[in-house]
A = this chain, B = another copy of it.
Amino acid sequence: MSTTDTQSNAKTISRADKARKPRASTAATRERIIEAAMAVFANRGYNNSSLLEIADQAEMTHAGVLHHFGSKDNLLTAVLAHRDDADVAELHDHKLPTGAAMLEHLVHTARANAKRPGIVQAYAVLSVESVTENHPAQNFFRDRLAGLRVIVSDALRAVVSDNVPQHQINQAASLIIATMDGLQVQWLLEPDVIDMAAGVETTITAVVAQLNAGRPGGDATQS
């Protein structure tokens, strides 16, 4: 986010406030490149992708891509940040649901994901690739996972009985997230065998029941 150099600050208008539209609308071009990069990263992984292929798909030369993003690393972070604007924004800013609604939202997300294998693959591949040495997206995915754990933990907390210890809730959150991620990989390899949404739903139900099992007074709130 902060590492980016040129423009980006909303408008970059320093001397011209009236009509901003140089040649091909820099914002639109960046978007085009980012989407091309997303597709190529998904199909090839980050390391195995080349700027040439990305540029081809964006209908430019690879030098043109570098003009906009400076380096391949920067392009990757831009891709990840961009997706967050569209996806996590839906969770964060947009008054993310709480409690049971949030858990249902996870199932909904899994169902939606089944219709966009490209994005699923990009995130699956990049997130795991990020555990390799000096990978530029390492912090991004670490933070993302941590954030997700908090969100899911909070949702679980609202759904289970009060006396469930926090560490159990945290663990349960990790498990739910792990299941979602693991299922994605299985689904990518065998889309016909795996039903991501059903799997996530079953897992949530099972884990919530498990949390409430220890103590009475809990309420499942699941179907």
Residues of A participating in the B interface, judged by any CB pair closer than 8 Å: 43-45, 47-48, 121, 124-125, 127-133, 138, 141-142, 145-146, 171-172, 174-175, 177-183, 185-186, 188-190, 193-195, 198-199, 202-203, 205-207, 209-210, 213
Q: Provide the bound-state CA to CA distance between A186 and B145, in Å.
A: 8
Q: Are B129 and A121 in contact (CB under 8 A)?
A: no
Q: Which of B128, B179, B180 contacts A124 (CB 8 A)?
A: B128
> Distance in Å from the Cβ of A83 to the closest Cβ of chain B?
18
Interface of chain A, main secondary structure: helix
Question: What are 25 residue pairs bridging A and B, where the CB atoms are less than 8 Å apart in the complex?
Answer: A43-B132, A44-B132, A121-B132, A124-B128, A125-B128, A125-B131, A131-B188, A171-B198, A171-B199, A172-B202, A174-B183, A175-B199, A177-B182, A178-B178, A178-B180, A178-B199, A181-B182, A181-B185, A182-B183, A202-B207, A202-B210, A205-B210, A206-B207, A206-B209, A209-B209
Number of copies: 2
Q: Are A199 and B174 in contact (CB under 8 A)?
A: yes
Given contacts A48-B47, A179-B178, contact A210 B206 (CB under 8 A): yes
Q: Are A131 and B142 in contact (CB under 8 A)?
A: no
> Distance in Å from the Cβ of A46 to the closest Cβ of chain B?
9
Q: Are B179 and A186 in contact (CB under 8 A)?
A: no
Q: Which of B121, B141, B174, B205 contacts A131 (CB 8 A)?
A: B121
Q: Provide the bound-state CA to CA distance between A194 and B44, in Å.
A: 29
Q: Provide the bound-state CA to CA distance between A187 and B193, in Å.
A: 27
Given contacts A142-B189, A183-B174, A209-B210, contact A129 B45 (CB under 8 A): yes
> Distance in Å from the Cβ of A140 to the closest Cβ of chain B?
11
